[in-house]
Structure 1
Amino acid sequence: MGKSKTKRKTKKKKQDSMIRTDVWTLKVTSLEKKLLLLTVAEYRRFLKPLVFIVNAEWKSIGNLTDKEKVNYLEKSIHVTSKNPQIK
């Protein structure tokens, strides 16, 4: 008999990937599921403009490191005392 393989709980990390995906089995009530779905919908609604910014600016940021990309995008969308004029 051979060894049985255990099912992987997280996806394999790609080299230099900014994306991390965890896979969890959640036990939720129907109300909790509804609230989770509403949360995901709201998150996606807020994220959509950021995706448009990334697509529009990709020629400028595509070759940057992951950290530089994050800094560039934060400067593009966050108003601070040091960064009063966002792009």
Structure 2
Amino acid sequence: MQHVKIYTTGTCPYCIRAKQLLAERGVTQLEEIRVDLAPQRRAEMAEITGRRTVPQIFIGGTHVGGCDDLMALDARGGLTPLLQGD
């Protein structure tokens, strides 16, 4: 299973949904970075991704994007292979 990193806030419904989908696909551990608790990490996220919205999801070295991007990747059958490192 690939390393999963997700930038979130505590109250974001899209963050919650993205974490639920990842759990449904077998992710048991992820690195969650709460940008509401560490504002400097939001700046880091924006610099890396070019986006300021959460969630921002990385699987392995791949920037997946936000919740809608994650759901679209899953819908076209690409999420599980990415998680497995295929």
* Shorter-chain TM-score range: under 0.3
Kindly name which structure, 1 or 2, has the bigger radius of gyration based on alpha carbons. 1
Higher relative contact order (CA 8 A, sep 6+): 2
- Tell me the TM-score normalised to structure 2 length: 0.26
Greater helix proportion? 1
- Tell me the TM-score normalised to structure 1 length: 0.26
Greater strand proportion? 2
